[in-house]
Structure 1
Amino acid sequence: MPVLETTDFGDEGAKVRDEVQELGEETEEGPQITDTKYFHEPGGDDILGHYDKRYFHGVVSYGERADTLRYMIRAYLDFFRKEGLETWISHGTLLGWWWNGQFPLQMLPWDWDLDTQVSGTTLAHLAKTLNYTTHTYTSPDRLVSRNYLLDINLWSRERERGDGMNIIDARWIDVRNGLYVDITGLSETHPDVQPGVWTCKNYHRYRTSDLYPLRDSVFEGVRAKIPYAYGRILIDEYREQALIDTEYEGHSWSQDRREWVKIPERSTTELETDTAKRLEPDHRPLPRPITPSGPEVLQ
């Protein structure tokens, strides 16, 4: 069984959190907030935008990224389950589960982070009782031990989008390198006029029947929850092509291995030959798309 230990930073953690906020300068009119953003990254592109600035020491390798994310989501899901807290995988993480659902390697290998969701009620509980706590995860074989920080955005109580700088409500961060799990809360923000409609601060909308009852499944070798209408959610977010295309982001889907495989870099000669072939007329019938047989759902 994996081992999880929790540590509360207390006053020291609050001090560190205050130091990283960069909220502005003191003036005669009082403190002026010039930057409301809570979580900061070392850059804004697809790579640097997926690290927490406080723990960033350089871009990790392809293999280290996969290793980091794999143990990080296992630790996250184990922690929430043992605490009796409700969470489910979402966005690209849910898409990875759909493709690789019956096999242990389920993350999309080009993903730089992982995505989960919680209800507004769970988010409030995390902010009140578990904010800025660290958790030590030890793998079942005791060969791997990692530390993670659960950090709740100070603006998480604000359920509207606001200025758009705080759409991520919380993060589960690997303190070795800064990679993280994004945690977003879903709330019925306008129950009077839109009852049963759940939204996050990034304009994703779901009906109660899309989410509940949550289904039991497995992700990266540990028990996980997925939203009830996962197929409709994925098509709404990514369109049907995301469930059909077998080449994406330098990877191809291997039906035999049931996983996304990195496409080897090709030589200049190979690329030139391939380009010449593509310019020739091709009268062969189009192949049928290969689609996965579907993920494992335990209920």
Structure 2
Amino acid sequence: MKSSLYPPVSLPNLLLAIVLVVTSFVLLSATIHRSSYLPSVPSVEPPPERAWPMVWASYSNEPPEPKYFQEAGNTLEMSHYDIRFFQGVIPYSQHREVLQHLIRSYLSIMASLKMETWIAHGTLLGWWWNGRIMPWDYDLDVQVSLHTMEHMAKQFNQTLHEWRYTTDEGGEGVHEIKKTYLLDVNPNYSEMKRRQGMNVIDARWVDVDTGMFVDITALAERNPVLEPGIWSCKNFHQYRTHNIWPLKETRFEGVKAKVPLDHERILVAEYGEKSLVLTEWEG
């Protein structure tokens, strides 16, 4: 009898081999089955901002979130015009004057209406440096408490406000200019969560001649039980009560204004320590 080329197979080894073969087959079948339902993912640019509600809805049970405020476009410049009043891009040489009267009118009229508000974000950084808007800014940012936002919504939503000022530009001598601004409150302002990020701006102060605007966001204690004294907006900027109040009275662009009490700490947290040192931005 010839000797076998293979060692004798014991029953336990045979059973183990069968189990391994069956397991490998099941895993391979599952992989083929799963991959057959995965579409190929091409390398493409991220969808524009307004497509994100649909993308979000495809991965969650939430329906797409309608965006209340609509801008004239998706570029940095065009995103700072309200599409309802957009008449064309303001030349760089003129846009600062438009922003100046936007913030002057807002701060002055809010004070006359006894509504507490303060400047924030990049606008606050401009105040810290020289009490004026940064030359490269496209937008203006202010904040209010949720209580003040509720008052805005109930008493002044969709109201038009007149602002008059004098100028001697244009070679016509001193003459008066009349401007009109719209206070528009987002109906989603009371939503405590960010959701899909389409309504993080709670209200706007809009120049009806140009479409440029001031962004107004509300701070609220969003979790007063577990995080008392922590205030935030829907864009995840967080502050402690003593960082904001009592507000400090000052001036900005020549009119009375208010800023948070701990403004330097807030600016460093948002923009880094270099923001209070560097004197140039992108050259």
Q: Between Structure 1 and Structure 2, which shows a larger proportion of helix residues?
A: 2
Conservation of the 8 A alpha-carbon contact between 1:110 and 1:249? no
**Paired residues, what number?**
217
Aligned partner of residue 139 in structure 1, secondary structure: strand
How big is the shift at 1:76? 0.2
Q: Which residue of 2 aligns with 1:229?
A: 262
Conservation of the 8 A alpha-carbon contact between 1:131 and 1:150? yes
Choose 1 or 2 for highest CA Rg.
Answer: 2
Conservation of the 8 A alpha-carbon contact between 1:209 and 1:229? yes
Change beyond 3 A, Cα 1:98–1:113: same
Q: Which residue of 2 aligns with 1:91?
A: 121
Aligned partner of residue 218 in structure 1, secondary structure: strand
How big is the shift at 1:247? 1.2
How big is the shift at 1:144? 2.1
How big is the shift at 1:43? 1.1
Provide the C-alpha distance between the structure 2 equivalents of 1:89 and 1:207, rounded to a whole number of angstroms. 17
| 4+ residue runs over 6 A deviation | none
Instruction: Identify the match of residue 107 of structure 1 among 116, 133, 136.
Output: 133
Provide the C-alpha distance between the structure 1 equivalents of 2:209 and 2:72, rounded to a whole number of angstroms. 15
Q: RCO greater where, 1 or 2, for CA within 8 Å and sep 6 or more?
A: 1
Q: Which residue of 2 aligns with 1:118?
A: 144
Provide the C-alpha distance between the structure 2 equivalents of 1:144 and 1:216, rounded to a whole number of angstroms. 28
The within-5 A match list for 1:1-299 is: 34=64, 36-101=66-131, 106-139=132-165, 143-250=176-283
How big is the shift at 1:249? 3.9
**One-letter amino acid of the structure 2 residue matched with residue 44 of structure 1:** N
How big is the shift at 1:143? 2.0
Provide the C-alpha distance between the structure 2 equivalents of 1:68 and 1:131, rounded to a whole number of angstroms. 22
How big is the shift at 1:63? 2.1
Conservation of the 8 A alpha-carbon contact between 1:87 and 1:118? yes
**What TM-score do the two structures reach when normalised by structure 2?**
0.74
Provide the C-alpha distance between the structure 1 equivalents of 2:251 and 2:104, rounded to a whole number of angstroms. 10
The answer for unaligned runs of 5 or more in structure 1 is: 1-32, 251-299
Provide the C-alpha distance between the structure 1 equivalents of 2:268 and 2:127, rounded to a whole number of angstroms. 14
Aligned partner of residue 97 in structure 1, secondary structure: helix
Provide the C-alpha distance between the structure 1 equivalents of 2:159 and 2:139, rounded to a whole number of angstroms. 20
**What TM-score do the two structures reach when normalised by structure 1?**
0.70
Conservation of the 8 A alpha-carbon contact between 1:148 and 1:173? yes
**One-letter amino acid of the structure 2 residue matched with residue 198 of structure 1:** W
Conservation of the 8 A alpha-carbon contact between 2:65 and 2:196? no
How big is the shift at 1:62? 1.1
Provide the C-alpha distance between the structure 2 equivalents of 1:211 and 1:43, rounded to a whole number of angstroms. 33
The answer for unaligned runs of 5 or more in structure 2 is: 1-62, 168-174
